[in-house]
Amino acid sequence: MEAVRYADGTIGFPRHHLGLDGNEPVETVDLSEYTATVVTWTTSTATPPGVREPNHLAIVEFDLEELTDPDDPPVRALGQLTTGDVESGDTVQPVYAEELREPGVGIKLTESQAWDGFRFEPV
């Protein structure tokens, strides 16, 4: 779960070619080593082809006090949850999954992007 630190010191996920202020990425940060807090979540019951149903999703905010300044923007990610039994404010940790949805079933070409990644599991 590779985030990047930009030249101005801020951390962002996912990686962009340049940060919002035009700063270049200077190093990577592995977010899978950190816990996060659920900002908000939903359970989607109308999912596209190749996606599990129901699909529990959340936006989480990583606990990165040791890596960032208090004034830096928060580092967040969107991802699947391992369970729908969560509440906003819960602590979660990333758990690796080889396939988050079935490649080649939806409109996107299988080769066009990665299909593995991290779900979030309540701690």
Partner 1 sequence: MDTDRVAIIGASMTQFGQREAWIRDLLAEAGIACLEDAGVEPSDVEHCYVSNMSSGEFEGQGGIMNMLAHDLGLLPAYTQRVDQTSSSGGAGIYAAWQSIASGASEMTLLVGGEKMTHRTTGESTDIIASITHPEEYKHGVTLPSFAGMTARHYLERFDAPRESLAKVAVKNHKNGVDNPHAQFRKEVGLETVLESPIVADPLRLYDFCPITDGSAALLFCSESVAREYTDEYAIVSSVAGATDTHVVHERPDPTIMNGVVESGRAAYEMSGYDPEDVDVAELHDMFTILEFLQMEGLGFADHGDAWRLVEAGETERDTGDLPINTSGGLKSKGHPLGASGVAQGVEIYEQLVGEAGPRQVDADVGLCCNVGGFGNCVITTIMEVGA
- For residue 74, the number of C-alpha atoms closer than 13 Å in the C-beta half-sphere is 11
Residue 64 within binding range of partner 1, rule CB under 8 A: no
Residue 49 within binding range of partner 1, rule CB under 8 A: yes
Q: Which of helix, strand or coil describes residue 111?
A: helix
Comparing CA positions, the residue from 46, 48, 41, 43 lying closest to residue 102 is 48
For partner 1, the closer of residues 9 and 74 by Cβ is 74
Could you give the CA distance from residue 118 to residue 30 in angstroms, rounded to a whole number?
12
Minimum CB–partner distance for residue 58 and partner 1 (Å)? 7
**How many residues sit in the footprint of partner 1 (CB under 8 A)?**
41
Minimum CB–partner distance for residue 62 and partner 1 (Å)? 11
Minimum CB–partner distance for residue 112 and partner 1 (Å)? 8
**By rule CB under 8 A, what string of x and - marks binding of each residue 23-42 to partner 1?**
----------------xxxx
Could you give the CA distance from residue 90 to residue 115 in angstroms, rounded to a whole number?
26
Q: Which of 77, 86, 92, 94 binds partner 1 (CB under 8 A)?
A: 77
Which amino acid, 54? P
Could you give the CA distance from residue 1 to residue 94 in angstroms, rounded to a whole number?
9
Which amino acid, 116? D
Site residues for partner 1 per CB under 8 A:
12-14, 20, 39-52, 55, 57-59, 73-74, 76-80, 88, 100-101, 106-108, 112-117
